[in-house]
Structure 1
């Protein structure tokens, strides 16, 4: 059995546990299917203990250089510490010192995600806000899709861990994975759905309308005539939603003209159902939760949606008046969620 790469954290924990149980190094090597020399080396190094790290004096910078670094950090958002110091012509400063200096005046953050808005987009957002400013949003049905994966939105998660505790192991998939596409709607204090899009189906105009026929229509036909008369449907500008085929299909169901809300481009921050997706994702992925099958993650979505009460939904739908005022105050700019 040849020697492999270094022991993983999980293997090291198992070695400690096996030693506590009285297992020999040879038996541990067989249990872990690792080279005996690798196991013995780890045990010997652990028994010797770690050498105390000798702190070296940090490279000091002058007050003038510090002011230059502060100005560069403000002018170069998201730049690395090396790039910031190089722009100030300050060399010979190790990374640990650079980070310690920057930590007093800045913090590491990710870039904010937001849609690109040009002048035309902003004008259309303002026109949209003015048009619907006097609308009773309790009669608007907000709809959208969300994709949920087995490992979370980014495939990873981070959070606080107590001192002395080990970080939990997360699955790292070489293949497989995937996700589930979910459709839902909210109106006043009611949740419509969620409904699962069949695996492998790509939502184009035809498949989207067929999906609505099989799901949304069952909910819609149970509503009273007065409800249908007053309801306004919101569809965003996704190609499958805004195509001529989909518009004609909705018109045949009586959702047309003023009953079909026009939607400004690049405006996910105006749709309250996006906040519902955040609530559901926080619930299904809490504590770094992962899933092993598409059915299990779908069941988690259903359970999380069932726990969203009417008051939470009502808070989202009633937030529209404030969103419209924010759009006008920012002259069509991005308002956040």
Structure 2
């Protein structure tokens, strides 16, 4: 469609005069048989030649500059403003954002939160996985995995996601910041979960061994008898000499765990599923008793079939560590 002729000096004078008489943009446009957009643009930018929006920045970046921009942005290290400065591109930051948005292989998204993994961590994971692959499935089925998890009244990080219908009003998730939470310690076997133990305050090696004595050892004895292995992560109370000596005095075989390796610990998957069940549909709790009751109900519903699938996935996880040369797995 051809563009209409430019605003004449006479029309510009009429626009200024009618605006001084407090006429609206639409009234001025009807009087001059012009579009409201042309009148509005002239009033906002009277120094422009025709009152139209300038498009000179839209085509100022060359094809070569665009390719350099996309290649540098793919590294994920710089913001749009930093890309503009480093590549000396003579367009605005918003134009750069538009180019990246229009590229089919770019999507602006939140960075994932994961523990930092250094080369020494990768080397340790690689060697440990090679060693652990020598064990058969029967060994892993005799391992009890344990860990602790914190739950608060509003849910994990106070976040709730949902599919939003743009035709409806947005939902609001209101956090109360009451500061109350539960720290629970649990364990799983291929035959089912243990009882959950509430931990008040900071847990030291003495309290840790007391919990093992009162809950974990009876759970292991009832499940496996005498042949079993206890897994624990690298927390300070787990690695202390006091804990190691206590486990040795009870003839408990324990499996040390690697740093930066939550993807290999199957109880992390159980905690994640538990949190989704507890806080389903953005549920919040008024007190710790209601929260604890809900957690216990969801925890006890972990089926033996589901836990067996997690145990069967351990060799596949170790193989993927070898394939990734010690890097993170998809798990």
TM-score for the superposition, normalised by structure 2: 0.74
Residue 188 of structure 1 is aligned with which of 178, 187, 190? 190
Which structure is higher in RCO with an 8 Å CA cutoff and minimum separation 6? 1
1:56 deviates by 6.2
Q: Are the structure 2 counterparts of residues 120 and 209 from structure 1 closer, same or farther at C-alpha, using a change threshold of 3 Å? A: same
Q: Distance in 2 between matches of 1:209 and 1:264?
A: 21
Say whether the 8 Å CA contact 2:285–2:291 is kept in structure 1: yes
Say whether the 8 Å CA contact 1:128–1:263 is kept in structure 2: no
In the TM superposition, what are the counterparts of 1:167-182 in structure 2 within 5 Å?
167-173=170-176, 175-182=177-184
Q: Are the structure 2 counterparts of residues 78 and 149 from structure 1 closer, same or farther at C-alpha, using a change threshold of 3 Å? A: farther
1:221 deviates by 4.4
Say whether the 8 Å CA contact 1:81–1:99 is kept in structure 2: yes
Structure 2 unaligned blocks of 5 or more: 1-35, 42-51
Q: Distance in 2 between matches of 1:328 and 1:228?
A: 34
Structure 1 unaligned blocks of 5 or more: 1-50
Q: Are the structure 2 counterparts of residues 71 and 123 from structure 1 closer, same or farther at C-alpha, using a change threshold of 3 Å? A: closer
Q: Report what 2:321 is aligned to.
A: 327
Q: Report what 2:150 is aligned to.
A: 147
Q: Distance in 2 between matches of 1:216 and 1:188?
A: 15
Q: Are the structure 2 counterparts of residues 154 and 81 from structure 1 closer, same or farther at C-alpha, using a change threshold of 3 Å? A: farther
In the TM superposition, what are the counterparts of 1:200-279 in structure 2 within 5 Å?
201-223=201-223, 227-255=224-252, 259-279=253-273
Query: Does residue 1:99 correspond to 2:73, yes or no?
Result: no
Residue 312 of structure 1 is aligned with which of 306, 311, 328? 306
Say whether the 8 Å CA contact 2:146–2:231 is kept in structure 1: yes
1:267 deviates by 1.7
1:234 deviates by 0.7
Give the paired residue count: 276
Say whether the 8 Å CA contact 1:81–1:102 is kept in structure 2: no
Q: Provide the secondary structure at the position in 1 that maps to 2:89.
A: coil
Q: Provide the secondary structure at the position in 1 that maps to 2:147.
A: strand
Say whether the 8 Å CA contact 2:144–2:220 is kept in structure 1: no
Q: Are the structure 2 counterparts of residues 82 and 120 from structure 1 closer, same or farther at C-alpha, using a change threshold of 3 Å? A: closer
TM-score for the superposition, normalised by structure 1: 0.73
Q: Report what 1:120 is aligned to.
A: 120
Q: Provide the secondary structure at the position in 2 that maps to 1:182.
A: strand
Q: Are the structure 2 counterparts of residues 177 and 56 from structure 1 closer, same or farther at C-alpha, using a change threshold of 3 Å? A: farther
1:249 deviates by 2.0
Q: Report what 1:29 is aligned to.
A: none
Q: Report what 2:285 is aligned to.
A: 291
Say whether the 8 Å CA contact 2:186–2:195 is kept in structure 1: yes
Q: Which has the larger radius of gyration?
A: 2
The runs of at least 4 aligned residues of structure 1 exceeding 6 Å deviation read 51-58
Say whether the 8 Å CA contact 1:72–1:87 is kept in structure 2: no
Say whether the 8 Å CA contact 2:69–2:83 is kept in structure 1: yes
Q: Provide the secondary structure at the position in 1 that maps to 2:112.
A: coil
Q: Distance in 1 between matches of 2:230 and 2:68?
A: 55
Query: Does residue 1:89 correspond to 2:91, yes or no?
Result: no
